[in-house]
Structure 1
Amino acid sequence: MRKISHKLILGMLLVTILSVGILWVYQRVFLEGSYMNSRVEILKATTEQLSELYDDTEAFLDNAESVFMERNIATEVSTIDGRIIYSTGNTMGRGQAAGFRVLRGEYLEDLLRTGEATTTMVHQRQSTELFTYSKLLEDGDTVITTSLPIEPINETVQILERQLLIISAILVVVSILIGTFFSRFFLRPIKNLNKSVNELAAGDMEARVDVEAEDEIGELAVNFNKMAEQISKVDRLRKDLVANVSHELRTPLGLIRGYAEMSRDIHQDDPVIRRENLDIIIEESERLGRMVDEILDMSRIQSGNMELWQEDVDMMDLARSAVNKYSIVAESKNIKLDVMGERESFYVWADRRRMEQVFHNLVSNAIAHTENGNVDIVLTERDNVLRVDVRDTGSGIPQDEIEHIWDRYYKVNSSNRVSGGSGIGLSITKAIFESHDIKYGVESIPGKGSDFYFEIPINK
């Protein structure tokens, strides 16, 4: 049985059969005993009520006659030796009272020992089986006995069995119908979800499920749509990565091959030009290496394998190192690169190598988008927190693109980008910030420049 619909129908059927089975067992095993116990409880309650009214003769007689007429419970008051004081049966001409006939033997012994006794007997004239209950009053001599005819329960049981058999057949049919209805009702969204899963697996990245319910199935559909959106996003990023990496790799690889061939075929006898060619080959090789390192870093971050080796790190020292590293590149683009700080050193608890990556990515990003301007690294302390701003006077970032700049392989104005980056530097920077629990952000005005900042506690 592989279909959920069949399992649901079978489940409904089993629940119905189990319920009917319990009713049959109860009727066969417990119904008669339950009926007997209920009769005894009725007699005890009636006798107790009459005992409380015994001293009030008028109230006692009215109550005794009332229960006899309404519930067919006969009452008899007698002494221990069997002398009858009052009997509703005799008074009404029914002849149903049984008190003086049971006050003997073990019944009488139980009555004298415990103050009450219960038994069954057969009416002598009517051949009717009676429940009989007696209670000894506080005077130790007066006994109130009540009796109630036992209805022919066997005949009732047979009627109930026939009705239960019909009801069982109806319940089985109804359970199958309800199971079929609910299986279709519940399985329809699951089938739609399965259809969308197959479409997504077949490559349709726009496959989604219409969410109609608010239960667990609806929650599953919502989560599927979220998953599909993420997969669609990853697929777009993958395509962008292939396109970007193909584009970025093509240029340095072409340069490396071209200058290598020139050195071999044309300039092999000119050491000066050959050296210049080799310098270009080395530079492009380093560029390729940086791209590969960034992609590997991104892979480690995505897999959750980025480890931090935290220590006391002087952020001022890292900022100066970044300025020294990019001073030649900045000078070639007529950019004034500088670092400014309120103190000579700012020590924080961080991973030195990762924070070097942060400065590298932010400074290289600022230089890539700036021509004939300024790039400043500004370090300021506020409430024992170091704020680092990397400000540039470059092209800036459009407001509708600011929220995407931290995404993998996303490039602002990629068609005009001249940095030659892979588009994952800021994404790696974001991952480093979040792994250090560092607050970060960016403020930018198109045409005037950008300010990338982050804040980290200072070690005192």
Structure 2
Amino acid sequence: MSIRLRLTLWYTGILSLTLLLFGIGLYYLLHFYYYDSVETDLKERADTAYTRIQPRITPTLGGDISFDFVLQGRDLLNNTGTYYQLTSFDNGSQNRSNNLKDLNLYLPEISDSEKQRLARVDYFIDRSTIDSFEILIYNRPIYLSQNGTTRLAGVFQAAVIIESYEKVFALLRLILTVTSLLLVLLAASFGWFLARKALRPIDKVIDAASQIEKGTDLGNRINYDGPQDEIGRLTSTINGMLGRLQNAYTDLEDSYRRQRRFVSDASHELRTPLTTIRGNVDLLEKMWRKTAAVSSDQDRDQLEMSLEAMQDIAGEAERMTRLVNDLLALARADAGFQMEKDAVLLQPLVEQVIRRAQLLPRRAEWIAGDLSALEEAYVLGNKDYLQQLIFIFIENAFKYTEEGFVKLDAVRTADQVGLRIQDTGLGMDKEEVPHIFDRFYRADVSRGKTSGTGLGLSIAKWIIDEHQGSIEVTTRKGEGSMFVVWLPLIGLPTTFESGHSLQPLNQV
């Protein structure tokens, strides 16, 4: 969820809550105030009429007497919107004001529970509905003293119709609801506009930073001409950070450039004396062998010891030569060397590697597996570097496999071909796999047991990357390893010239 949307939702939520509290507060305040005034006015009128109630004695057929109650004439004729009704509990008679008679209505009768309530309070007010009329009723008990006792003899009721008031409050509820919804919608739109306007400089900062991220020139800066508020300070901070990054990157590039030049120059300079050393050692070895053939036994023993020393020198010189060549290859890779590529048919290239691999020093059995997947398999690559790539993995497999076998075969998918080198050697822990292509990295189990510089797999990874390929590694410590080099296939070329584009196999 974007900041703009969150800010808009916050604005809208706060306003909605404010309007809700305001609307509810206003409604119930007006409702309470209005009905309180209505009830107060009703009570005042009813109390005035109550003082003028007159009891009336009515004889019964059995010779007893009962009481009912009547209003004075001006209360009976009351037409101010207040309706009166007197009810006698002795004979159930009711006396109503004329305006109530005109409506042909009777106010609700008092139930037994309400009679008990009347006996406990001075009065009570409740609401009722009569023939769809909403009315407010004031109920007050009528007491009668007889023979020294006071008893509840009837009830006086005064009522006003509040239907018009209810319609007014219903209209008020509708107005508050519609107004609140419109205000919330307007606030959401306005809030979205304000959030968009306020965050527009951040969008510019993001766009500028994205262009800097996608580009290679760290000299670009974010242009901002607004006020020095939070966004302005953020822009200045980012520009300052970019400046420091540019300086650090420039220093790092200079350091790398000097390092690559040193490695390249040192490698070139070391190749010449190493070649001279190896040549002279070979010459001395031949001369001493001839001298040993005609020398005495004592001289022959001394010559043989010297010959062993010369062989050690020759071995170390050869190892240093390999190291120098590897360093030179990596220096070329760091310098952005682009190898020349052509359409290469893999099957004859791999078969040639298999024949030459039989001559490598080894203790394990060499197995050439199924190569049918390489039939008519063309890749865009460099023949010499591809051979070097396969030899690196085969030599590594021989180096770390003391018994068992080393096997080379091929697999194929719709658009890739895989060269699979499998061995039954030392294997590796899974924690070591991510580091095997690092320069000078060698697994702990191989240190002191096998010779090497730790640069072979780094060179192999560079060659794979240059061919847009990938490497798959499966290994288990003590059981062996399997490397699968995947290379993208190209369409079968008919007349191919260097520099022409080739179609991928799945587009042919």
TM-score range (shorter-chain normalised) is 0.3 to 0.5
TM-score, normalization by structure 1: 0.42
User: Rg bigger for which structure?
Assistant: 2
| Structure with the largest fraction of helix | 1
TM-score, normalization by structure 2: 0.38
